[in-house]
Amino acid sequence: MSYYIDHIILCDELTYGRMIEYWRQRTWDVCDVNRPKHVWKASKDSDDFVKTGAYLLYLSVNHNPDYWELLDWLSDDLGVDLMHFSFWTKGECDEGWSQGGTYAPDKDLPNSIVTAEYDENCFNRRRAPEGYRTYEYCKIAVDPDIWGELIVDYTRETGIETRSPEEKVLCEINDELHQIKGLLERMIDNMERRRS
């Protein structure tokens, strides 16, 4: 059964760079955290949260990561301190966004970001205040005067290891086990033919 969770991540260039590097090194099927549906970059300061050059990412995931798993990924796996990012989470059945594991009313979102209410008659099926832009499959709307949408290239760069040395060894072992299994099957077939 599906249970969708939406995350808004507001971060600096250090955090964004580490996330992009992570997503470039992994294919879709081995990502712990899916690539974001939308990415924006701030062209100017908006409030205490949003400074010029900040990045905003919108992720929609099925079941995981939840709030705590996303926090672990950012702080443990990517090695980024809390001072470099903030994020808000909203589960499919939640009334509103939460931050730090506690309910955060819409007014606690940066003032250049608002919740886009579902409306079947609106563009992208989302309704937002005048001056904000909505996006398909996105539960927030942003102020386009602050946020410019980015097109992200996840193509692997030369020199990036697609597999760790441990993964390479495990793949070699797996290949050799398949070869041994094939040899054993042939031996068993030969032995059965000799008996009959």
Domain ranges of the chain: 4-149, 163-196
Cα separation, 58 vs 38, in Å, equals: 5
Q: How large is the average pLDDT for residues 55-59? A: 93
| pLDDT tens-place string over residues 110-124 | 888 998 888 777 777
Of 8, 77, 67, 3, give the one whose Cα is nearest residue 36. 8
Q: Where are the alpha helices (DSSP H) in the chain?
A: 13-25, 67-72, 165-195
**Whole-number pLDDT of residue 58:** 94
Q: Is 21 left (phi over 0), alpha (psi -120 to 50) or beta?
A: alpha
Percent above pLDDT 70 for the chain:
89
Q: Which residues contact 132 (CB under 8 A, 6 or more apart)?
A: 114, 116, 141, 142, 143, 144
pTM attached to this predicted model: 0.73
Cis peptide before 65 (omega within 30 of 0): yes
Cα separation, 127 vs 123, in Å, equals: 8
Position with higher pLDDT, 153 vs 12: 12
| pLDDT tens-place string over residues 68-94 | 899 999 998 889 998 999 999 998 888
Q: Is pLDDT at 13 greater than 90 in this prediction? A: yes
| pLDDT tens-place string over residues 132-176 | 999 888 889 999 999 999 988 877 655 445 566 777 788 788 888
Position with higher pLDDT, 171 vs 192: 192
Of 72, 76, 78, 89, give the one whose Cα is nearest residue 12. 78
